[in-house]
Amino acid sequence: MKITLRLAVCTASLFVAFPLLAQTNSDHSGHDNDGNSAGHRQDAPHGFGDRVLVLSTPAQTAAVSNAVASVTSALRSGSLTTSSGAIIPAAAQANTYAVMTSDAAQAISAARLSAALSTAGSDAGEIVPALVSGFSALPSNPVGLPTVVATYNNFTKAASASFIAKPPAEFLAMRAVLAQLTAAAASAK
């Protein structure tokens, strides 16, 4: 059981570290280059992989908590980048920071984040409230990360091809945050 869990965590970390390389015929999570949903595919991960993320040790939970503090600091300073090093627009970082810190502007920022994510289509739009709610709770509930990642993966599977091809900055900020948190969980033992 421990070997299987370790193998799953190591495999999941590869999907986080190399999300584009882990996919075949796909340049974005969730959809193939032909514009069809990747949900029909059996050979490629969606979002952060189809494997279940489990925070099974206190060290993993602590690593996620520390990563939340680090990513929140990066959002506050406007220095968060995507895994490929691209700068995320300051407004998207400010909204994401407000959502994650329960800032007084959180309701407005959550509404902006929800509105940006809702452009992904009606199926994905149904997932947005749970995704934003879970995401905003991560600073106070890091053990909720597996649920948020699963919800994020479902969102990317349901998102339209046009959304995946040209996602809003708020989606990129959320993905960057989740990438850092899942990497922290995967690296902890």
14-41 pLDDT tens trace: 333 333 222 223 333 444 434 444 443 3
pLDDT at 25: 31
> What mean pLDDT comes out for the span 118-131?
95
Report the alpha-carbon distance of residue 97 to residue 22 in Å, rounded: 29
For residue 45, being part of any structural domain is answered with no
Token pair of 2 as six digits: 């421990």
Domain ranges, residue 172: 55-187
Output the pTM of the full model: 0.72
pLDDT at 16: 37
Tens digits of residue pLDDT in 52-107 = 677 778 888 899 999 999 999 999 999 999 988 999 999 999 999 999 987 656 68
Q: List alpha helices for the chain, DSSP H.
A: 2-17, 58-77, 90-101, 106-117, 122-125, 128-137, 145-158, 161-165, 169-187
Looking at residue 86, the DSSP 8-state letter turns out to be: P
For residue 156, being part of any structural domain is answered with yes
For residue 2, being part of any structural domain is answered with no
For residue 16, being part of any structural domain is answered with no
Overall number of domains in the chain: 1
For residue 46, being part of any structural domain is answered with no
For residue 30, being part of any structural domain is answered with no
pLDDT band at 128 (very low <50, low <70, confident <90, very high): very high
